[in-house]
Amino acid sequence: MVATLTFRRTSMSTTTLETVAPGRALRIGLWAAQVVLAFVFISAGFVKLTTPIPQLAAMMPWAGQYSETFVRSIALVDLAGGIGILLPALTRILPRLTVLAALGCAVLQVIALLFHLSRGEAAVTPLNVVLLALALFVLWGRNGKAPIAPRQF
């Protein structure tokens, strides 16, 4: 667990040092958000990677209007984001990658929002907004409020 230090002035001439740990609710919320993001991104990536394009186009019309290479590349980005948002934090090996994955997932959702809005697909954007909010929450929380300490070997 990582703790932050805060300074508190107790009188004009003394300063005390106390350790403030992130709250349990915050840590639970961050883990829950990470698990949800990982599930959604890994699932979406797996579907986009393994489903034949004609079947995928029936679920997501845009998939039939772009090259298969583009669709499969988006699938790999989704998979990388889903794995990156959870695995480094779970293993505590390079946990800073979780913060970078959260940033990547947030950027991806902004691009997805703009993409869908430009195509007149506003009905599918609420999911993008929720995923963007969760990614920003993880980015904020794991970057400063409740970072994961790297494993000591």
Q: Residue 15: what pLDDT? A: 52
Cα(134)–Cα(136) distance, rounded to whole angstroms? 5
pTM of the shown model: 0.84
Cα(21)–Cα(99) distance, rounded to whole angstroms? 19
For 93-124, the pLDDT digits (tens) are 999 999 999 999 999 999 999 999 999 999 99
Between strands 4-9 and 15-20, the pairing is antiparallel
Domain ranges of the chain: 24-145
Q: Residue 10: what pLDDT? A: 46
Token code pair at residue 119: 């195509």
Q: Residue 21: what pLDDT? A: 72
Instruction: Residue 90: count other Cβ atoms within 10 Å of its Cβ.
Output: 14
- The 8-class DSSP code of residue 9 comes to E
- Residue numbers of the chain with a pLDDT score lower than 50: 1-11
Q: Residue 6: what pLDDT? A: 47
Q: CA separation (Å) from 2 to 49, 73, 137, 153? A: 37, 36, 18, 17
Q: What is the 3-state secondary structure (H, E, C) of 21-67?
A: CCCHHHHHHHHHHHHHHHHHHHHHHHHHHHCCHHHHHHHCHHHHCCC
